Amino acid sequence: MAQVPSASHGKVERAADDVADSLADAASTDTGATSSDVQAELETLRRDIAALTQTLASFGSGKIREAGETSQQYIDSARDTLLTVEEDVEAYVRAKPFQSLAMAAGVGYLLALLSRR
C-alpha cells in the first residue's frame, strides 16, 4: 500500500475532521433549526467535500507525475546500460575478430539445431 506524504495526509485529515465537525454540529443543534440553518450547513458540507475532493485529486496527479519520472529514470538507465554493452561488444569484436566470428558461427549453429526440433 502506498504511503501518503505527511503534508497531504494532514490536509486530508483536517478536511475529514472539518466534515465530521460539521456533521456533529448539525446533529447537536436543537430540532428548532430553520431551513436556512440547514441550507447553510449543507453548503458548508458541500464546500468541505469539494475541498477534500480537490486535495485527493492533486495528491493523485502528484503520484502519477512521480511514477512518470521514476519510469523515465528506469528507461534512461536501461538505455545507458545497453549503450555500454554495445560499446563493449564492438570493442571485443575489433580486438578479436576471428574469435568473434567463430563464436557467432557456433551460436548460429546451435540456434539452427534447436529450431529443427
**46 vs 4, which has greater pLDDT?**
46
Q: What is the mean pLDDT of residues 29-47?
A: 78
When pLDDT is cut at 50, 70 and 90, the band that residue 2 belongs to is very low
pTM of the model: 0.45
Using the Cα atoms of residue 86, residue 90, residue 92 and residue 96 in order, give the sign of their dihedral.
positive
% the chain with pLDDT above 70: 79
Helix (H, G, I), strand (E, B) or coil at 5: coil
Per-residue pLDDT tens for 72-104? 999 999 999 999 999 999 999 999 999 999 999
Q: What contacts 93, CB < 8 A, 6 or more positions away? A: 100
Question: Kind and range of the H or E element at 95?
Answer: helix 35-95
List Cβ<8 Å contacts ≥24 apart for 100-105: none
